[in-house]
Amino acid sequence: MQLIIVVISIILTGCSMVNYEVDNVTYTAKGKNQRVKFIILHYTACDDKISIDTLTKGNVSSHYLITTHKWDPIFQLVPENERAWHAGISSFQGRSNLNDTSIGIEIVNLGVSETEGGLKLHPFHESQIRKTAYLIKKLSKKYKIEPKNILGHSDISPGRKIDPGPLFPWERLHREFGIGAWYDSIDFNFYYDSAIFGIYSTENIQSEFKRYGYDMEVSGEWSEKDKKILKAFQLHFRPKNISGEIDLETFAMIKALNHKYR
Ligand SMILES: [Zn+2]
């Protein structure tokens, strides 16, 4: 009889899990940081309907989606504490796989399309720019994101991606809404000097791009990968002339940026 009682009590104890209290107030740790360090902007390269289908049903996603419809809200597709699959192979500031450490914002825009008259670029709607600015402002305040960590897909995946493309108004976002990184003209004018440019070796210039965050090797020679990075940089800061070559103007821009965001 006693044995039966013991067996029954073992079975009962095994089945009933005690609910312990979790105290998250008494002790808190100092050694921690935010998961979110970057905001990555994209265009979807397709219309609203296909964008919604692709980002909700496929194996790509983003935290936020901004459609072309002025009266649509900003759609959140993935909670901020979860990873969305928007960045793919990517790197910046010595970090790779930026899906782990970023929030992705997809903006519906057709990107670049081929027409009979050549390549056509599609401007963003005013409402999209304002919604993007509002969202970035909110997120960068919440996660204390550095201005230069607000980036395009092209910045973190040079050569592989060109979105959000040459028509994305980075300079306007900075000037009008105080969002993202942009150089000050006083610094640019200082470095826009062929005498200064002349004393910089290829290695020195490569170090400037690496210092800013681009995944550039300091080798002393311009590799194909480096040229893709130069193109990505120009796409962001000088979209009217994307040469993929280093020149005085590109040099002055990277120097002025490093001066401001050191
Ligand atoms: Zn993208």
Would you list the domain boundaries of the chain?
38-177, 185-260
Secondary structure of 78-107 in the HEC alphabet? CCCCCCCCCCCCCEECCEECCCCCEEEEEE
The residue type of 252 is A
pLDDT in tens, 54-95: 999 989 999 999 999 999 999 999 999 999 999 999 999 999
pLDDT value of residue 70: 96
- Going from the Cα of 62 to the center of ligand 1, the distance in angstroms, rounded, reads 9
- Going from the Cα of 161 to the center of ligand 1, the distance in angstroms, rounded, reads 6
- Going from the Cα of 163 to the center of ligand 1, the distance in angstroms, rounded, reads 5
The CATH architecture that domain 38-177 belongs to is 3-Layer(aba) Sandwich (3.40)
Which residue stretches of 144-243 are H helix?
153-156, 170-177, 185-191, 194-199, 202-212, 224-237
pLDDT in tens, 114-123: 888 888 999 9
Q: What is the mean pLDDT of each run of 10 residues along the chain (262 residues)?
A: 56 71 92 89 97 95 97 97 95 96 97 85 97 97 96 97 96 97 98 97 98 96 97 97 97 98 90
pLDDT value of residue 31: 84
Residue 251 parent element (H or E): helix 248-260
- Going from the Cα of 156 to the center of ligand 1, the distance in angstroms, rounded, reads 10
pLDDT value of residue 48: 97
- Give the global pTM: 0.89
Mean residue pLDDT across the chain? 93
Residue 151 parent element (H or E): strand 150-152
pLDDT value of residue 14: 56
- Looking up tokens 């936020």 gives 64
pLDDT value of residue 30: 87
CATH 2.40.400.10 assigned to domain 185-260? The reply is no
- Going from the Cα of 38 to the center of ligand 1, the distance in angstroms, rounded, reads 14
Active site residues: 106
